[in-house]
Amino acid sequence: AAPQLSPDDPFIKPMQSPPSVSPGIQRRHTLPASEVRPLNTQDAISVFEIEREAFISVSGECPLHLDEVRHFLTLCPELSMGWFEEGRLVAFIIGSLWDQDRLTTEALTLHKPCGSTVHIHVLAVHRTFRQQGKGPILMWRYLQYLRCLPNVRRAVLMCEDFLIPFYRKSGFKVLGRCAITVANLTFTEMWYPISGHAYMRRNTGCV
């Protein structure tokens, strides 16, 4: 029997509408209207362009520079997630594994394969797709996906204080002031529990 996919599968592709014309005269490479998938190094430039526009105008700093985007998409692409509309990247998350209770400067550039904490480096949405709820939806799908990873116990991130309410709505809780500073910017560290979801793992097709 064919495997049953959960409707909450973070990477499930939406059903396509029935073709209105004969398949023989359709374009052969029609792109899906909407798709969520892990990112790869070929997506790095699109990722960085969205990130640069989103962050430079607000804080003057990017969470990840282009070489760091490529670095994490090479080491741990499975901890990234991109939302594409007709083949165009419109929102993304990039994460890596960390192995300490709190973030340190090394967490900005290192991936610790044996860690049980996912450090979410960046969530960004293309400027023309903001104010549509895509950021919270993508974060929800990402957190659902992390529950499928057997060794992951929690997710952490650092953000400027004005973003705390945004992440609280996604279920994150404040850990305290972050030890990391970038230029003159200070951050709050937040966390989300992933452990304790064994029932969820058994009932959402997670291996």
Q: Is 72 among the domain residues? A: yes
Active site residues: 96, 110, 121, 123, 167
Name which of 91, 120, 117 is nearest 187 in CA terms. Answer: 120
Output the domain CATH number for residue 79: 3.40.630.30
**Token couple for 97:** 């594994």
Strands (E), the chain: 34-37, 80-85, 88-98, 117-125, 154-159, 173-182, 185-193
Establish if 196 belongs to a structural domain.
no
Among 166, 38, 189, residue whose Cα is nearest residue 108: 189
Structural domain span for residue 39: 34-157
pTM score, two decimals?
0.80
Q: Has residue 186 been placed in a domain?
A: no
Helix (H) / strand (E) containing 142: helix 134-146
Question: In total, how many domains does the chain have?
Answer: 1
- Residue 29 to residue 159: CA distance in whole angstroms: 40
Q: What is the residue-level pLDDT of the chain in tens, covering all 207 positions?
A: 444 444 445 554 443 434 444 444 444 456 678 899 999 999 999 999 999 998 876 667 788 999 999 999 999 999 999 999 999 999 999 999 999 999 999 999 999 999 999 999 999 999 988 889 999 999 999 999 999 999 999 999 999 999 999 999 999 999 999 999 988 889 999 999 997 544 444 444 444
